[in-house]
């Protein structure tokens, strides 16, 4: 049995549902409410397929390339840590991604909303690490996938409520929350690095 709360917090930190809200508001500001709902649904579905892909065959791909999961965990932890530092000290997630908005409404749900805003590199890494075949059973991997999808449901609901949320927290509030998520993410990244080093040397 997995630790549902720990898995939920991990995915919540790397997916950053709250930080996604300002991005969604920015990319959909010229659309009507019906189109906004369609964009939110499409983006969520795309992210679900991307992350489930990493859950199902992410580790298989690593094995095919003869890459130890511990090495992937260490390198991924380093990347996550650098990403977290950028969230803390550099542009926050909303500020950074709003700069790269696409004008075409056909691309809005895919970029930057689905990738890399929701399906971030950290989320992809988390999907692999939290479903390691050598550690977790099929049932536990299924449970992790369900928790991950529940976080995506939170993302979807927040996007639908983005109008009310923007009035409540504002862009500055989302920036502060994004930096807090960066601090949590840096701790998760450090844990991944230490665990990867331990697994590598014990192996």
Q: Give CA–CA dist 149/55, Å, rounded.
A: 12
- Cβ atoms 94, 175 nearer than 8 A: yes
Between the two ends of the chain, the Cα-to-Cα distance in Å is 25
Question: Tell me: the pLDDT tens digits for 166-175?
Answer: 777 776 776 7
SS3 66: coil
* DSSP category for residue 36: H
Give the pLDDT of residue 173.
Answer: 75
Long-range contacts from 26-34, C-beta under 8 angstroms, 24+ separation: 26/94, 26/98, 26/101, 27/101, 27/102, 27/108, 27/112, 27/113, 28/108, 28/162, 30/105, 31/105
Q: Give CA–CA dist 25/13, Å, rounded.
A: 20
Q: What is the mean pLDDT of residues 142-171?
A: 90
Mean confidence (pLDDT) of the chain: 83
Residue 102 has pLDDT above 50, yes or no: no
Q: Give CA–CA dist 37/40, Å, rounded.
A: 5
Lowest mean pLDDT among 95-104, 129-138, 191-200: 95-104
Residue 56 has pLDDT above 60, yes or no: yes
Lowest mean pLDDT among 5-19, 91-105, 123-137: 91-105
pLDDT tier at 4, thresholds 50, 70, 90: very high
- Cβ atoms 131, 10 nearer than 8 A: no
Give the pLDDT of residue 153.
Answer: 98
- Cβ atoms 10, 188 nearer than 8 A: yes
Residue 144 has pLDDT above 90, yes or no: yes
Q: What is the mean pLDDT of residues 110-117?
A: 81
pLDDT: which is higher, 163 or 150: 150
């Amino acid at each position: 049995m997995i630790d549902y709360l720990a898995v939920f917090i991990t995915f919540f930190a790397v997916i950053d549902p709250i930080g996604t809200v300002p991005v969604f508001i920015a990319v959909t500001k010229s659309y009507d409410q019906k189109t906004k709902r369609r964009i939110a649904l499409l983006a969520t579905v795309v992210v679900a397929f991307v992350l489930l892909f990493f859950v199902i065959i992410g580790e298989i791909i690593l094995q095919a390339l003869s890459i130890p999961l511990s090495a992937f965990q260490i390198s991924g932890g380093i990347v996550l840590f650098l990403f977290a530092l950028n969230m803390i000290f550099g542009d926050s997630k909303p500020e950074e991604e709003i700069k790269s908005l696409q004008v075409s409404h056909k691309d809005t749900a895919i970029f930057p909303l689905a990738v890399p805003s929701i399906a971030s590199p950290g989320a992809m890494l988390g999907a692999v690490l939290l479903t390691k075949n050598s550690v977790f059973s099929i049932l536990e991997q299924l449970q992790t996938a369900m928790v991950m999808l529940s976080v995506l449901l939170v993302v979807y609901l927040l996007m639908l409520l983005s109008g009310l949320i923007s009035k409540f927290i504002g862009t500055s509030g989302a920036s502060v929350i994004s930096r807090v998520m960066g601090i949590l993410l840096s701790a998760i990244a450090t844990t991944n690095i230490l665990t990867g080093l331990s697994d590598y040397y014990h192996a």
